[in-house]
Chains A and B, each alone.
Chain A
Amino acid sequence: MTEPLLVVEGLEVEFATDRGWVQVLDGVSFTVDRGETVGLVGESGSGKTVTSLTVLGLLPPESARITAGSIRLDGRELVGLPRRKMEALRGDELSMIFQEPMTSLDPAFRVGDQIAEVVRRHRGGSKRAAWARAVEVLSTVGIPHAERRARSYPHEFSGGMRQRVMIAMALSCEPKLVIADEPTTALDVTIQAQVLDLLRAMRDEFGTAVVFVTHDLGVVADICDRAVVMYAGQVVERAGVDALYEHPRHPYTEALLSAMPQLTARSGRLATIPGSTPPAGAMPAGCRFHPRCGHVVDACRDTAVAEHPLAEGGTSRCLRVSELALKGSA
């Protein structure tokens, strides 16, 4: 059996603060298979975005460092890869889509030129061929009159159309893996539905694997095959989405699911999770979720908990995983 497309193993990352280096990721591990969509889920402060930036090699070198772990893309180690090699990889085998496309698109250049530039940098060839490729991908992502719109500047597109341009750029070199960080969070729901459909179609057509970073459990249910739930810089649960929603194996996943207001029925009082996510550098001893957990026992307070592999597949970072029957979403 060949290795999965992306293997992240034991990743540890620290940030520089005025109190010195502080750990923000602790032993993050997950895999993504070819053509698979994996959700990286969590609230603010969970480490999901730091994880995605680390995989992309986009951590600011002066204020962040990888202290342990491995990231392998198609068998190739990315940790420690020289910057130039990482840059060559990014946009080619590995590309990204962010929440606000304006931060990734240069307002001073026509979108067709920007996509053509990516194509030429990674694939070479003539300017004419690269421009033709840009028009082709713009058309693939559903930009009407792509030939003409390729000559437009980013600000001449609506938010939804700009996100399509961003997706076109990300797919222009047929990457094996796309990392999408909250790509639909800033969009209206009817436009979000269009973009999610587009991402699904791209996956089916090109077999692109996607890491989908989001706080929205509805979006994960809609587009992901598997999910990785993060809390306070650690992975707390990994599972296929059907299992995760119906039989969560970590109390934090259960708490998140029960807190989702329902569209299809009015709930009574909304469930809350007491307290708040601990800040980096001030993690509680034992299980990091224990101060907020409804199933806490004494052992949770002082024993650091490892990720347990589960018989049915997936993992849970809960000491009581075998004895708890947790509630899923209806």
Chain B
Amino acid sequence: MTNAVNASQSTSGSVSPRADPAGPVAEVEDLTVDFRLRGGILGRGGTLRAVRGVSLEIGERETLGLVGESGSGKSTTGRAMLRLVEPTAGSVRLDGEEITALGRGDLRLARRRMQMVFQDPYSSLDPAMVVGESIGEPLDVHESLSRSERSTRVGDLLEHVGLSATYAQRYPYEFSGGQRQRLAIARAIALNPRLLVCDEAVSALDVSTQNQILNLLEDLQAEFGLSYLFIAHDLAVVRHIAHRVAVMYLGEIVETAPTDRLFDRPAHPYTEALLSAVPVPNPRRQRERERIVLRGEVPDAANPPSGCAFHTRCPHVMDVCKVEAPPVVTAPGGGTVRCHLHT
């Protein structure tokens, strides 16, 4: 099949820089993102460090799941990689090219190769435009196509996401939630990106629709060699779609592992608690499961605990955890873990 998406490379002037073809598509090193806090009633300013020294890699055709609870910094990490929020420090490389140093024009070019799919597809579809206009918009910005070339490309994109080419003339409100997410994906892949950051992309959908979108993402990955950073709070979904998983807590990655190892033999006490808190859809099995109910809640990111950030809730806390931040070490069975139990 000739695909619309590959055609974009031949018609475009700039060729994506590719480093070592075997190297990772995306590399993040020591990424830090600070938010300045507003004064508030007491006039206290201050800084909230939402992402603290995150490092990760995503290979070609790889899906990296990024999980964690609210306030863990997973969304901020994804946005900072695309510079939708500005990193405070650290490095983000796409095919070897440093993204954090790019000026405005070069950044716009680089964005062709990394796109985002959000939970709410309305954020990328203008309700006042027919969807063909929204999907074709990236083409208008980056490529100069004739009217008929453009409409052929939009039609091809619609068909790639399982919709009819004739839908281009309809408005977003005429579509269901699942269809709108397909449209957002069509727009995101219009310029043949290398990396898609999916931020809770299926969280608002009913389970049957959710599965249709997950299957579509898998198909597009196989067809176009896409890499995904898949940010989600639903661990069962991540188990299904991710090749590797990184777990975040209070702005840090506490564990990374190949998916099966992470779910079958979690190395970090937080990962273990997180997995045990998800109820499984079978009453008998759910009754038999051993559950770890964590005490308390995620601490305030503006004022994180000393030592290991998880020590205030950890069932295995030791004296050393309260004073010393654990180093990142290799975990048994593969991946890495940041916990004193393993040092």
Q: Is B206 an interface residue (CB 8 A)?
A: yes
Query: Which residue of chain B is the closest to A242 with respect to CB atoms?
Result: B283
Q: How far is the CB of A204 from chain B (nearest CB, A)?
A: 15
| Secondary structure dominating the interface of B | helix
Q: Are A189 and B233 in contact (CB under 8 A)?
A: yes
Which listed residue, B207, B208, B240, touches A267 by the CB 8 Å rule? B240
Q: Mark B235-263, 1 if CB is under 8 A from A, else 0.
A: 11101100000000000000000011001
Bound-state CA distance A42–B208 (Å) is: 11
Q: Is A293 an interface residue (CB 8 A)?
A: no
Residue among A193, A194, A217, A242 facing the most chain B CB atoms (10 A cut-off): A193
In the assembled complex, which residues on chain A have CB atoms less than 8 Å from the CB atom of B201?
none
Q: Are B240 and A197 in contact (CB under 8 A)?
A: no
Which listed residue, B176, B237, B284, touches A261 by the CB 8 Å rule? B237
Q: How far is the CB of A227 from chain B (nearest CB, A)?
A: 10
Q: Are B208 and A221 in contact (CB under 8 A)?
A: no
Q: Are A270 and B278 in contact (CB under 8 A)?
A: no
Q: Mark B274-300, 1 if CB is under 8 A from A, else 0.
A: 110111111111100001011001100
Q: Are B214 and A270 in contact (CB under 8 A)?
A: yes
Bin chain A's interface residue count. 35 or more
Q: Are B281 and A260 in contact (CB under 8 A)?
A: yes
Q: Is A218 an interface residue (CB 8 A)?
A: yes
Q: Are A221 and B263 in contact (CB under 8 A)?
A: no
Q: Is B151 an interface residue (CB 8 A)?
A: no
Q: How far is the CB of A48 from chain B (nearest CB, A)?
A: 12
Q: Are B293 and A197 in contact (CB under 8 A)?
A: yes
Q: Are A270 and B260 in contact (CB under 8 A)?
A: no
Q: How far is the CB of A182 from chain B (nearest CB, A)?
A: 13
Q: Is A286 an interface residue (CB 8 A)?
A: no
The stretch of A131-139, A251-259, A300-308, A318-326 that contacts the partner chain:
A251-259
Q: Is A263 an interface residue (CB 8 A)?
A: yes
Query: Which residue of chain A is the closest to B259 with respect to CB atoms?
Result: A266
Query: Which residue of chain B is the closest to A273 with respect to CB atoms?
Result: B208
Q: Is B89 an interface residue (CB 8 A)?
A: no
In the assembled complex, which residues on chain A have CB atoms less than 8 Å from the CB atom of B279?
196, 216, 218-219, 221-222
Q: How far is the CB of B296 from chain A (nearest CB, A)?
A: 9
Given contacts A192-B277, A221-B283, A272-B215, contact A261 B240 (CB under 8 A): yes
For B, the interface residue count at a CB cutoff of 8 angstroms equals 42
Q: Are B211 and A190 in contact (CB under 8 A)?
A: no
Query: Which residue of chain A is the closest to B176 with respect to CB atoms?
Result: A276
Q: Is B326 an interface residue (CB 8 A)?
A: no
Q: Are B278 and A261 in contact (CB under 8 A)?
A: no
| A-B pairs, 9 with minimum CB distance | A218-B279, A273-B208, A222-B279, A188-B69, A270-B211, A43-B206, A193-B277, A217-B281, A261-B236
Can you show 29 pairs from A to B with CB atoms below 8 A apart?
Answer: A43-B206, A44-B206, A160-B297, A189-B69, A189-B274, A190-B273, A190-B294, A191-B297, A215-B207, A221-B279, A221-B283, A222-B283, A242-B283, A245-B283, A259-B207, A260-B236, A261-B234, A261-B236, A261-B240, A262-B240, A262-B280, A263-B239, A263-B278, A270-B211, A270-B214, A272-B211, A273-B208, A277-B206, A329-B281
User: B residues within 8 Å of A by Cβ?
Assistant: 69-70, 176-178, 206-209, 211-212, 214-215, 218, 233-237, 239-240, 259-260, 263, 273-275, 277-286, 291, 293-294, 297-298
User: A residues within 8 Å of B by Cβ?
Assistant: 43-44, 158-161, 188-194, 196-197, 215-222, 241-242, 245-246, 255-257, 259-264, 266-267, 269-273, 276-277, 329-330
17 A-B pairs besides A158-B297, A270-B215, A272-B211 with CB distance below 8 A are: A189-B235, A192-B277, A194-B293, A215-B207, A218-B280, A218-B286, A221-B283, A241-B283, A245-B281, A245-B284, A261-B234, A266-B260, A269-B218, A270-B240, A272-B212, A272-B215, A273-B208
